[in-house]
Amino acid sequence: MRQLFLLGLLSACTAVDDTEFGDSPSDPELPPRGPTATMRWIEAGHYLAWHCEPVRHPARPGSPHSQNRICSNDALSTAPDGPFPAGAASIKELYDVDDIIGYALMRKVEPDSSGGAGWYWYEAIGADVATAMHGAPGCTGCHGEAPRDFAYTVVP
């Protein structure tokens, strides 16, 4: 039931662009864009070598995400102060009790965040992709309030 609620909430705010961009699906530091390529990259487990929180935790106040665990790539984790560089990325494992039910991913694709349009946003619950696009309104609307360049959490 929670899975259906989350998918409904997410799909009401966001959209999917079926464009595949030809990014390398095997680069462990740079998730590819496009719904199919992104899911394959996640399923390959590339992000598991990133800087990850040790355990899952409840969603932070105001977050529409479920219980989760966040991982940041080197470009996000080691960026100096100021805007993040293109290539900075983060993924959130989404849980329902003990099982991963989905993922939320963000990747900066342009040096300028451009109100969130410089970021690629992806979110799926199971095989149902709710978001896979640049500048997704539901994502940028919330992440625009983040303390630094659309990122709420950076895992060192």
* Residue 14 domain-assigned (yes or no): yes
Report how far residue 145's alpha carbon sits from residue 141's, in angstroms, rounded to the nearest whole number. Answer: 8
* Residue 152 domain-assigned (yes or no): no
* Residue 65 domain-assigned (yes or no): yes
Give percent above pLDDT 70 in the chain. 89
Phi, psi of 39 (to 5 degrees): -65, -40
Q: Which of 62-71, 93-102, 128-137 shows the lowest per-residue confidence on average (mean pLDDT)?
A: 62-71
Quick one: pLDDT band at residue 14, thresholds 50, 70, 90?
Answer: low
* Residue 155 domain-assigned (yes or no): no
* Residue 104 lies in domain: 2-143
Specify the pLDDT at position 72.
98
- pTM of the full structure: 0.87
* Residue 45 domain-assigned (yes or no): yes
Give the pair of three-digit tokens for residue 118.
Answer: 């410089």
* Residue 156 domain-assigned (yes or no): no
What's the domain count of the chain? 1
Give Cβ neighbours of residue 62 (< 8 Å, ≥ 6 apart): 142
